[in-house]
Amino acid sequence: MKRWFNSDTRIIFNVVIALIVGIIFGNFLGSSMLKNESIYANAVNYADDVYVLQSGHYYDEYNANVALEELKKLGINGIVVREYSNYYVYHGIAVNTNTFTNITNTFEQNSITYLIKSKKLFYLLTDLDPKSESYEFYYKTINYYLSLINNNEVVLTDDYIDKYDLTNLDLYNSLNMLNEGLATENREMYKLFVYRDLVNLLL
């Protein structure tokens, strides 16, 4: 009787089985990645470490704005951001401190004290329920934001767009403005606007 399963046939059989298993696993993995795409929100950099350039810390908004106006006379732009009960004058947000070199040089030339602070954006979500729609919206927002901070444009998913409301409208608009203005000279200020709106909502 002829033997069908000789050594060569067994090798071919094993290769075919391996290919089938590989295809099944590949489809499963690809499906999982597609499902997670909206979670990662097209972000290129998933680490949430960012640096913020600060020139002042005040206990009232008026003095913070006065200080900022003086800095604008030197050609230094920035915004005032309230964090808890304090007001900070910020001039940039980035994933690399070298981004601030031009501004910090101006600070040093004018004997202006400054501070570069490290922050983790996902810490802003600490008080939210991880199972809530709010958490999902802000989680995706931060992922979009991280990509934009790295100067990579994003495509907002329909699922994400459906979740914004009057409460977070300013944040949504700031994120869109940054995405659309990423190639303009105003992009560093737009990045600060998004940070300000995130903090206003989550702190």
Can you give the CATH number for the domain in which 166 is found? 3.30.70.1070
Side-chain-side CA neighbours of 150 within 13 Å: the count stands at: 15
CB count within 10 Å of CB 75 equals 8
Rounded to an integer, what distance in angstroms lies between the CA atom of residue 26 and that of residue 182? Answer: 35
Question: pLDDT 10s digit of each residue in the chain, 203 long?
Answer: 444 445 555 555 555 565 564 555 445 444 444 334 333 444 444 578 999 999 999 999 999 999 999 999 999 999 999 999 999 999 999 999 999 999 999 999 999 999 999 999 999 999 999 999 999 999 999 999 999 999 999 999 999 999 999 999 999 999 999 999 999 999 999 999 999 999 999 99
Instruction: Decide if 124 is inside a domain.
Output: yes
Q: Indicate the angle between helix axes 169-180 and 187-202, nearest 10 degrees.
A: 160
Question: What's the domain count of the chain?
Answer: 1
Question: CB pairs under 8 A, 24+ apart, for 56-62?
Answer: 56/88, 56/89, 57/86, 57/87, 57/88, 57/89, 58/86, 58/87, 58/88, 58/89, 59/85, 59/86, 59/87, 60/87, 61/87
Cβ-Cβ contacts under 8 Å for 198 (sequence gap 6 or more): 121, 124, 138, 141, 142, 145, 171
The pLDDT of residue 108: 97
Inside any domain, residue 172: yes
13 found inside a domain: no
Is 6 a member of any domain? no
Residue 35 lies in a domain: no
Residue 176 lies in a domain: yes
Domain-embedded: residue 76? yes
C-alpha 97/C-alpha 25 separation (Å) is 41
Q: The domain containing residue 172 runs over which residues?
A: 49-202
The residues near 195 (Cβ < 8 Å, ≥ 6 apart) are 52, 81, 90, 93, 145
Residue 47, pLDDT score: 77
pLDDT confidence of residue 13: 53
| Domain assignment present for 142 | yes
The model carries a pTM of 0.78
User: What is the 8-class DSSP label of residue 52?
Assistant: E
